[in-house]
Structure 1
Amino acid sequence: MAEKKLTIKKVKQLLNETPVDKQLLTQLQDDKRAGVQQALRTYYHRQEREQARREAFQQRLVIERSYWEKGVQYVAGIDEVGRGPLAGPVVAAAVILPHDFALYDVNDSKQLSATKREALYQQILTEAVAVAVGWADNRLIDEVNIYQATITAMEQAVADLTVRPDQLLIDAMTIASDVPQQKLIKGDAKSASIAAASIVAKVNRDHLMAFYDEIYPGYEFGHNAGYGTKAHLQGLANYGVSPIHRRTFEPIKTGLVTGKYSG
């Protein structure tokens, strides 16, 4: 009696399991049904994408690994978010990853959806050796300028780490620290540690701006995170400058002088 073939539905189900039985793959190669062959092509294409994702992630750990191999135990990635908005703080994060870190989706936060960032944020907090966040509010930004405020936030994040780092990897900045540091242009795309920091900083700031949206309604902070969108500018025209707006940023600076914006 001939062996009963698996249904196409069952084949697809088995190919979605992890790991897929190698003997099954061999058997399916000889199955001439078009549905089976399409399911196989989908499976192999998915495997290729997964392999590419893993290789890209491993590339983002090359710098960290080069330090680990030299005996540098704790490498901290530092990044910031919020330099461009018209309102709210600039937020920095410092993250020390374990040597076996393997969250392949950790990448520059700007490349990720809000849902993906939220999920990765929770995983980073669980798996990281240490995580810390630094802030510089709009008043400090107006007082010292955005560049210096960003440095302050980064220095605070590093200082608040519960584990002292042996090496800092910083996205496009240099800070005052007795810990050796390496400045990386577009570091959030080159270093998994910096990418993890970018996610932590972004999620923390987004949460804060959503909170501010409730306190200062009318500017849509929960949607624009303080950036100068059309709705935000209309809110400025309607309600004036809120306590969290950056008064040295345009068009707020000129608007306050000309009387376009109250506050």
Structure 2
Amino acid sequence: MGPAFDRPGAAREVCDAAYRGGLLMETGGPNDEVAKALPPLTVADGQLEQDRGCSTRPSAIAVLASLTVLPALLAKLGRWVDRPRVPFLWRLTMRSGDSKLWPVLLRPALVRPVLTLVVSVGALLLLALPALDMKLKQPGSDDLSRDIPVVRATDRLTEAFPSKGTVHQVAVRAPADRAADVEAALGRLLKRTAGNDLFAHDQTPTIRTSADNRVHTVQVGTPHSPKSDGARDSLELLRDWVPQAMEGVPGAESAVGGKVAQGLDFTGHLEDRMP
């Protein structure tokens, strides 16, 4: 997602200006008319603490209101507090005498309490059994039905041009005087991916450089769908290879992002934060 520009080359100018400021962006669309931002997938602890403080304010206000405003309102209403009634239902609560329904419902449990406990616990476990197979994940095109014509057309395009389907975004930031070393290291990395079936080989990836020669990016495609094991394996392999390729470049910082990384990192971040 990103803004689209009518003037040719405007999206490229925006991306170049973002690179100079240290923000990773890339162009998209059939004519490179869209500028897409690549925000970080992690949140600083300070920001989390700030958000947690903001989230506690409504709870504190609600507790304070329940201790002050609510009792005062009930005292003010007095006997009129029960005046609003649901038609027909209020008559059921006004009946006097013992109920005939509850003894009938509770008789099996009173006669056979152990058997009732075992049956109820077993029923609850059966109801909770599907929850054991639940997993966190990011929704994507893989979740759509393959009977949709647009989805089938996208699958055919991805099969014909795998390097344009599922793509890993490799980004490297280094001092400007090390630009040649970074390009040489990325070149060696691309040669390494060329001999592996986890990556696409229909097109040669292009190394892009920011105007100040500080940021280099390259897109490495994989023929596998974003949610497949092959896509995850290719991401893990790239995240091992990229730091190795940059070991000889002083001051270089590298990262591997993209659609596959977004799903895995975001899901992992949620799982780490869950109790």
**TM-score, reference length from structure 1:** 0.27
Greater percentage in helix: 2
Larger Rg: 2
Q: Which has the higher contact order (CA 8 A, sep 6+)?
A: 1
